[in-house]
Structure 1
Amino acid sequence: MRKRVLFLALCFMSAFAWSQKYSQTETGIKASISDKQYDVEVQWFNPNSLRVLKTPAGKTVEKNSISVIAKPEKSGIKISTSDNGDIVMKSNSLIVTLNQKNGTMTYAKADGTILLKELENNKAFTPFNDAGKSTYTVYQGFQTDKEEGLYGLGQLQNGQMMQRNMTKELIQGNIEDVSPIFQSTKGYGVFWDNYSATTYTDNEKETSFSSIVGDCIDYYFMYGGSADGVIAQIRELTGEVPMMPLWSYGFMQSKERYKSQDETVGIVKKYRELGIPLDCIIQDWQYWGNNYLWNAMDFQNPLFYNPKEMIDSIHGMNAHMMISIWSSFGPATKPYRALDPKGLLFNIETWPQSGIEGWPPNMEYPSGVRVYDAYSPEARDIYWNHLNKGIFQLGMDGWWMDSTEPDHFNWKDSDFDHQTYLGSYRSVRNAYPIMTVGGVYDHQRAETSDKRVIILTRSGFLGQQRYGSNVWSGDVQSSWDMFRKQITAGLNFSLTGMPHWNSDLGGFFAGSYNTNGSTSATKNPMYQELYVRWVQFGAFCPMMRSHGADTPREFFWYGKAGEPVYDALVDAVKLRYSLMPYLYSTAWDVSHNQSTFMRALFMDFINDKKTWNIGNEYMFGKAILVAPVLHAQYTPEQKQDLLKENEGWGQVKKDNGTAIWSVDFTQPKDMEVYLPSGCKWYDYWTNEYYEGGQNLKVTTTLNKIPLFVRAGSIIPIGPDVQYTNEKKWDNLIINVYPGADGTFTLYEDEGDNYNYESGAYTEIPMTWNDTSHTLTIGSKKGSYNGMLSERKFTVRTPNGNEKTITYKGKKVTVKM
């Protein structure tokens, strides 16, 4: 009997010991893992998202996230201890278990289905000397299923749709934008909240993150049940997406670079004369003068003799202007002289390296250009003060923030020892883009609410979506192989929760196509075909922007009306404008409902496993399947060696004896498209009807790429315009695609201010009942200044039926 009592007492003491190893907090738990000599804190932000913070035993770390702006909350989590001492936390959707002996976390759905497990961590903290500070290299591994798809990590140029079976060092670069976050086809995501160089590894043994610097292991687990659900959780944690101005979804023309005020204004005039739709002209670098005046945020180049007049002239032609600004300053500039005495400039080698223009750089005349400390609030204030006075007050509409990685050449370990406002540069280097972009956004918002912030930028980090930024894929090479990689790059970037992305249409470095002089690429059929297909892809990206070096990008250099290449380029832009009501309504869905523009096929067709690794097609919005033509059909593909960052500037432009031959671009071609299962599809061009779940051979022409519409979709078609707000949307075509029930909400607002945040917008709900073949256009919700009180809708179905009705804001039913 005494033995039995003693045994029970020992069991009780053992259970008591387990229970004393953790404590409940307002938002989760704290526990000590004695076997691993570290402490764990779990903070719940909502029933679907939580933070895991691990620190060496007995150490306290105060860390404020750069990306995450949400705060942990009392989420009604039920906490208990299992028989073996595990801490079990339950929400309505998750069961999260902490093994107090080995420190591993396990994540499961409410029904017990395992989502993700931590691997036992024997190398969590490795001592590291960071510029004299004793800290750690931090690591965490996870056990993932071989069959699940993993996506994200930012914008990589590896051409992979799934980010599996790879080891990748995540460091910001010219053509790669990194964020240590992935999401799974199981409906969960993991954000590794660290800003130093980080290695992502995925193999048969582990899926892991390891960062060179970290005082703690800090990551977020998010469950959404679907890709959209994960993205919703990402946005709840790191910030929602503001509305971009309506005009920013129109066509933007750029090149490296317009060399005078007259040239910049002249391009807009030419587009207007030719009747090519255009909403924005973009001015690239050196409007400030020489390299010693780099990024002066002032027009010191005498060829830009009256910048206010230039901007006013562009506005007078109903276009907008965006201008290049950088993260660095030349030694002769006012910002440099304001920042330098305060210790707010880095000593790293950056672009441009020489004060004398040309390539390669002449290092006998170093530029002295230095990157500013964007981590410092004071530095961001100085940056904006000069930008505001020098350019914004002239009426500039948008910012092209270049080199936001920033450029860093010939780097030395000591470069990263530099102490920024937030610690060593080594510890925060990957977060530079969000800091500099956020500085401009916050300051412009504080300046005025009458003009929406639109920032085109070369780098991005998670959370940057809250700053009105659209990231582009950098100075990519003009090749078919690089073009193909842009699809997977854009889709994976979007899957990190940042929805605005684009690329240089035609690729940036096109010098290899100049076979007969400096402008011959415009007449080279190999480049013409590539440029057309890239522009057509651009029509189905959140921003449609033509840009590049070595050869002009304006359409009128590629022929004239009636010629196939010219017509194909113009047709792509006109198609974009015809879809503007659909596109702008999708923008509202992105902003208001946490949706995504460019949608990897698995997002909408998760039950069709064939879609999980398709990286050459995608959904644009929830109705249109886009299958870009990604292989040359009329010309040979020019083989090119992959350029390293900035090598393209050194390309030798010379006649290599290659003749410019004649190509018949009028002949039809064909390619194969996969139509996901689970629904039926319509060919956008012919209205032919197809079952999903099949590979389909389709006909292509130079001016058309394969587009398919999901049955049940409702797509509004806008008027023929030269710029986005030329005509009211008072006579829209409403294309309805039977075969399933469907809904769509037509969104409108004032277009270029933040009044929508106070409710100044309208929504017109549309519902298709496939059984009764009835479209119900619901009562308009909301109001704003200048809204239409009456309009016409012409409802069309693929079989040719159409009915025109007058809509006055009240519910109307249309029987087809």
Structure 2
Amino acid sequence: MIDIMDRSFSKAFNDELLLVQAWGDNAIRIRSFVDMKYVDRFNALLDEPISSEKVVINKNMDGIELINGKIKVVLDHRNRLTFYNNNDQVLLKEYIRLRAVKHDDGSEDVGTVDITKDFNSTLKLKSREYRSNLCGNFQVITRFESEPKEKIFGMGQYQQQFLDLKNTILELAQRNSQASIPFYISSMGYGFLWNNPGIGEVSFAKNITRWKMYSSDYIDYVVISGDEPKEILRNYANMTGKVPQMPDKLLGLWQSKLRYRTAKEVVDVVNEYKRRGIQLSTIAIDYFHWPKQGEYRFDEEYWPNPQTLISRLKNNYCVEPLISIWPTVQTDAKNYEDYFENGYLVKVNRGVPVTMQIQGNTMFIDMTNSEARNYVWSLIKKNYVDIGARYLWLDVAEPGYSVYDFDNYRYKKGSDLYCGNLYPIGYLTMVYEGLKDHQSVVTLVRGSWAGAQRYGALLWSGDIDSSFEAFRNQINTGLNVGLAGLPWWTTDIGGFHGGNPKDPEFRELLIRWFQYATFSPILRMHGDRLPHSKPLSNHGGGSMVTGAPNEIWSYGEKVEELLVKYVKIREVLKPYISKLMNEAHQFGDPVMRTLFYEYSNDPDAWDIEDTYLLGDALLIAPIEYYQETSRPVYLPKGDKWIDVWREKEYEGGEKIIIQANINQIPVFIKASQKEEFADLFAVIKEEF
């Protein structure tokens, strides 16, 4: 049975209800409900957008088609969906391998048909498959035909070196340093959103593309057609929301370390930067500034008058304090019983309900529970916001379980397997709703999912290693985060785990990382440097160790001298970066962009990794290896490019070898926009 409406059609078939719907411009949303149990949910999507084009639905003997602008989908008599662009070229096709039962008259039994009328398969593979897990839900699999030459970009943050994700397998789950954002852009000319927040896996193999959920009862995805990646990503941003406006005051240097233990330490660091003539944007007051997790307040033994401190930082130094919070509560916190008795905690299916052990027995707060969020926000508002703090750092937001046993945790919204990727979204929503009337919300967060950008998510790369290998991974990772719809992204300069300020190799790593971060959305110092200092006391936040100093003067005079030069470069770039932040706010464009994002008609641009555009005018090619002083750089066709260090002009379409001693990161300016960067050339001439 097929039911046709103005902008959609549905088909009931055996145990499945299939809904095919025009969704905004040039996009189609597909939903499938097992046992025909329709539930209306948006997940990553905003309210249903209306297409500016007339939606056309045609029905014939072979099936039914829906046309929405530049995209068409056909549901054929095999119950298979095929998506086409406006040139009738196949974008994406469901994969089925079922045997046809043919009768003497040549007819086929509906429901037992294969991929072609002339091909019989004994594989018995359906494109949309529900297999009971005997726990009330299903293992859900969706299969698509694979184009081996296709390139796939986006999907969020994964700690590997690949920009092109074809032939990779990705876990659809949040972990420390991993953020699953299941939207990708294909070189075939489409974008794809997997709109199911459950825990699962996607395989972009050469022979098949397969999305797998471990415990679900529906399929939900959107396919977007477009003439170029920019059109596709902007359409996606219209569907899922755009970032707020990034304040200009946050575009300078962010200072952090593991961890400032007292108000005096914070003020001393800010004073040192002021003495050097450097205007900080933020300074972080990191974890365990509290007496106990879950109390959401300053430990007055070490932070005796936090309101005065915050006022002093903001009014005397024009520096915003960045307050770290965790979604956790210790069992010995003074308000633990409030969490426990009201059901605000994450539940477990087996074992003792302790999900982390840092500073004591610790449990996670259920951020899918609106009542729990309201309670936590009441504490944050009283103890942070009402005394002047306006920027929060949502650490451990995946949440950061000691063991990622996703099948063991339960939330108010459902099991972790069913909806686990919504956890950081709930956390971000709490902060956004609490702060949006005060300001444009910017929230540093360790965890994300599709749509997080509309809540002001500034994703960072998590607790990564302090090594050149980790650095190489971040460059392509940041680009894929942008193509997954999050324009704001940052890293710990130098990595998080380890790094001795006296080690020559680490000093070089820090320099190369700082150079790269200068040309990124947010310039942010952070890390757990070695050796650690002894605790201040044996109780509360004072019992926690702190890392070695991590300020720009902590690495010796030569390093400091060079980093100061790059801070000056960042200062003259701020008007340009502000313009890019406005583009992100208005259109959804990433701040850091792959070459093909701006040069989609250049085939070679689709093959370039570890090189990126900051906006549309600056091309950056980071130095990624220890003691490396040169590297190949490809310059996209269609423009001329100027080397900022030598002011030499190159024709686009060339691959050149560029020299870059320890003072330099290869940077090129689009020749047609040279005048916009007169201040950059002036700083380089003066400082280098």
TM-score, scaled relative to structure 2? 0.88
Q: Identify the residue that residue 170 of structure 2 maps to in structure 1.
A: 168
- Per-residue CA deviation, residues 305-350 of structure 1 (Å, 9 max, x unaligned), is 1111111221211211101001112234355333221111014677
Contact 1:190/1:219 (<8 A) preserved: yes
Residues 766-777 of structure 1 mapped to structure 2, 5 A cutoff: none
Instruction: Give the C-alpha shift of residue 368 in structure 1.
Output: 2.5
Distance 1:146 1:123, change over 3 A: closer
- Per-residue CA deviation, residues 532-586 of structure 1 (Å, 9 max, x unaligned), is 11111111221111100023220111223xx3x2122111221111111100011
Instruction: Give the C-alpha shift of residue 426 in structure 1.
Output: 2.1
Distance 1:409 1:632, change over 3 A: same
Residues 8-157 of structure 1 mapped to structure 2, 5 A cutoff: 21-33=1-13, 37-56=15-34, 59-73=36-50, 76-82=54-60, 84-99=61-76, 101-120=77-96, 122=126, 124-129=128-133, 132=135, 134-157=136-159
Q: Identify the residue that residue 682 of structure 1 maps to in structure 2.
A: 642
Aligned equivalents of 1:22 and 1:44: distance in 2?
16
Aligned equivalents of 1:351 and 1:708: distance in 2?
48
Q: Identify the residue that residue 102 of structure 2 maps to in structure 1.
A: none
Residues 201-350 of structure 1 mapped to structure 2, 5 A cutoff: 201-289=203-291, 293-315=292-314, 316-333=316-333, 336-347=336-347
Residue aligned with 1:213, SS: strand
Identity of aligned residues (%): 29
Instruction: Give the C-alpha shift of residue 412 in structure 1.
Output: 4.7
Instruction: Give the C-alpha shift of residue 443 in structure 1.
Output: 1.7
Residue aligned with 1:267, SS: helix
- One-letter amino acid of the structure 2 residue matched with residue 42 of structure 1: V
Number of paired residues? 632
Choose which of 508, 511, 521 in structure 2 pairs with 1:532.
511
Residues 172-571 of structure 1 mapped to structure 2, 5 A cutoff: 172-289=174-291, 293-315=292-314, 316-333=316-333, 336-347=336-347, 352-355=356-359, 367-412=360-405, 415-416=408-409, 418=410, 420-445=411-436, 448-449=437-438, 451-510=439-498, 513=499, 521-550=500-529, 551-560=548-557, 563=558, 565-571=559-565
Choose which of 595, 609, 625 in structure 1 pairs with 2:589.
595
Aligned equivalents of 1:334 and 1:537: distance in 2?
44
- Per-residue CA deviation, residues 214-253 of structure 1 (Å, 9 max, x unaligned), is 2111111112322211211211111122112211211100
Contact 2:249/2:281 (<8 A) preserved: yes
Contact 1:571/1:703 (<8 A) preserved: no
Residues 781-796 of structure 1 mapped to structure 2, 5 A cutoff: none
Unaligned runs of 5+ in 1: 1-20, 356-366, 514-520, 635-668, 718-732, 737-795, 799-816
Aligned equivalents of 2:166 and 2:300: distance in 1?
49
Residue aligned with 1:146, SS: coil
Distance 1:716 1:301, change over 3 A: farther
Contact 1:190/1:220 (<8 A) preserved: yes
Instruction: Give the C-alpha shift of residue 707 in structure 1.
Output: 0.3
Contact 2:34/2:130 (<8 A) preserved: no
- Per-residue CA deviation, residues 252-300 of structure 1 (Å, 9 max, x unaligned), is 00000001110011110000011233211111111113xxx11421112
Aligned equivalents of 2:430 and 2:459: distance in 1?
16
Contact 1:187/1:229 (<8 A) preserved: no
- One-letter amino acid of the structure 2 residue matched with residue 396 of structure 1: A
Residue aligned with 1:522, SS: coil
Aligned equivalents of 1:213 and 1:29: distance in 2?
27
Q: CA RMSD in A?
A: 2.2
Aligned equivalents of 1:715 and 1:42: distance in 2?
50
Aligned equivalents of 2:226 and 2:333: distance in 1?
49
- One-letter amino acid of the structure 1 residue matched with residue 10 of structure 2: K
Aligned equivalents of 2:264 and 2:306: distance in 1?
10
405-414 or 544-553, which moves further after superposition? 405-414
Instruction: Give the C-alpha shift of residue 699 in structure 1.
Output: 2.0
252-261 or 223-232, which moves further after superposition? 223-232
Aligned equivalents of 2:492 and 2:672: distance in 1?
34
Distance 1:350 1:235, change over 3 A: farther
Aligned equivalents of 1:310 and 1:352: distance in 2?
31
Q: Identify the residue that residue 665 of structure 2 maps to in structure 1.
A: 705
Question: Rg: which structure is higher?
Answer: 1
Aligned equivalents of 1:369 and 1:594: distance in 2?
38
Aligned equivalents of 2:179 and 2:404: distance in 1?
19
Distance 1:557 1:350, change over 3 A: farther
Contact 1:137/1:211 (<8 A) preserved: yes
Q: Which has the higher contact order (CA 8 A, sep 6+)?
A: 2
Unaligned runs of 5+ in 2: 97-124, 530-547
Distance 1:128 1:301, change over 3 A: farther
Residue aligned with 1:200, SS: strand
Q: Identify the residue that residue 534 of structure 2 maps to in structure 1.
A: none
Contact 1:254/1:547 (<8 A) preserved: yes
- Per-residue CA deviation, residues 741-761 of structure 1 (Å, 9 max, x unaligned), is xxxxxxxxxxxxxxxxxxxxx
Contact 2:73/2:81 (<8 A) preserved: yes
- One-letter amino acid of the structure 2 residue matched with residue 102 of structure 1: R
Instruction: Give the C-alpha shift of residue 411 in structure 1.
Output: 4.9
Contact 1:286/1:301 (<8 A) preserved: no
Aligned equivalents of 1:413 and 1:222: distance in 2?
31
Choose which of 654, 668, 677 in structure 2 pairs with 1:694.
654
Contact 1:190/1:221 (<8 A) preserved: yes
Aligned equivalents of 1:621 and 1:435: distance in 2?
30
Contact 1:70/1:236 (<8 A) preserved: no
Residue aligned with 1:42, SS: strand
- Per-residue CA deviation, residues 729-783 of structure 1 (Å, 9 max, x unaligned), is xxxx5789xxxxxxxxxxxxxxxxxxxxxxxxxxxxxxxxxxxxxxxxxxxxxxx
Instruction: Give the C-alpha shift of residue 491 in structure 1.
Output: 0.6
Contact 1:499/1:597 (<8 A) preserved: yes
- Per-residue CA deviation, residues 151-198 of structure 1 (Å, 9 max, x unaligned), is 111101111011111222222100110122221123211111111211
